[in-house]
Structure 1
Amino acid sequence: MLLRIVPLLSVIFLAACSSSAVKHTETEKNAQPVVKYAQNNSKIMPVNALVSSNNLCVDRFNFLRQAGNDKYQKFSRDYIQINDGYRFLNTNKNIMNGDAKRVLTHTLDMKLDTLCSEVNFAGFQVIRQKISALSDI
């Protein structure tokens, strides 16, 4: 009887030791993909990256300017007009009616958000054109 139990117990112990526990790692819901770029200067591929301004809209404007996009000049003029509106608001905010100040603020914020979205879309179009040019290779 003991001879029958020993092999059975040894099989159970070996099976218990050989199985590995499955580890489930939690990933963040907003996890960003890891993108690797060239980090060191070389003769083949020099690394001259632009520094971020920590303002997405300004960074996207800089991207369009560096890409030489023809829409940059129009977007730049619109941005200057919106900033002139903010300058007017800040200069006259103490003597303006509260409702007028609120309406002007909301209008300027909406115009700026719309402009930044248009600049972002133009940046995507530039990238799409670059990818299209690469597909011909």
Structure 2
Amino acid sequence: MKFSKVFILSACCMIMLSACAGVTPKTAKKVDKTAKETYVERKSPFFDGIIIASTNNPCIDQFTFIRGNKIDVYKNYSADYAKIGDGYRFLNVNQHIMGKEAKDVYTMQLDLKLDTLCSKAHYTSYQIVKEKMRNLTNI
């Protein structure tokens, strides 16, 4: 009798201890390498460069991209952006004394100019990438 009690007690202890042990799932899936992992593996001093962080504003990101590749175009776009910024400052300073219609029309005009400038920057960025790709075809 004593032997069976010891056996049952030890069996229960083993079951309880094994339940506490970390169990790995049997359905573990093989994870493919991400682009980041592949990049890190291939990383060499030849491919290193300065990484520019995104501002989460697509228009400003396009400006930053253009600044690094076509400085003359960037200067023109930057001057236009400053003029639009001056327009928004004028609107903020005078919005309480302007008529509603004048304020609405001026705001629409500024928004249109800003959207147009951002579209130009986006297209210019595309042209830069297209030119870089064309340069790679000769290799």
TM-score, reference length from structure 2: 0.68
Q: CA deviation at 1:35?
A: 6.0
The aligned residue for residue 56 of structure 1 is: 58
Aligned position for 1:75? 77
After superposition, the Cα gap between the structure-2 partners of 1:74 and 1:35, relative to the gap in structure 1 and judged at 3 Å, is farther
Please tell me the residue identity of whatever aligns with 2:105.
Answer: V
127, 130, 134: which one aligns with 1:128: 130
- Specify whether residues 116 and 65 from structure 1 end up closer, same or farther in structure 2 by C-alpha distance, changes over 3 A only: same
Q: Which runs of 4+ in 1 moved over 4 A?
A: 34-37
Paired amino acid for 2:83: Q
Inter-partner Cα distance in structure 2 for 1:67 and 1:108: 27
* Superposition CA RMSD, Å: 2.0
Residues 85 and 35 of structure 1: CA distance in aligned 2, closer, same or farther (over 3 Å): farther
Q: CA deviation at 1:46?
A: 1.6
Q: 115, 118, 126: which is aligned to 2:117? A: 115
The change in CA–CA distance for 1:69 and 1:127 in structure 2 (over 3 A counts) is farther
In proportion to residue count, which structure has more helix? 2
Aligned residue for 2:39, secondary structure, equals coil
Name the TM-score, length of structure 1 as normaliser: 0.69
Unaligned runs of 5+ in 2: 1-33
Please list every run of 5 or more consecutive structure 1 residues that lacks an aligned counterpart in the other structure: 1-33
Q: State how far apart, in whole Å, the 2-side matches of 1:54 and 1:89 are.
A: 25
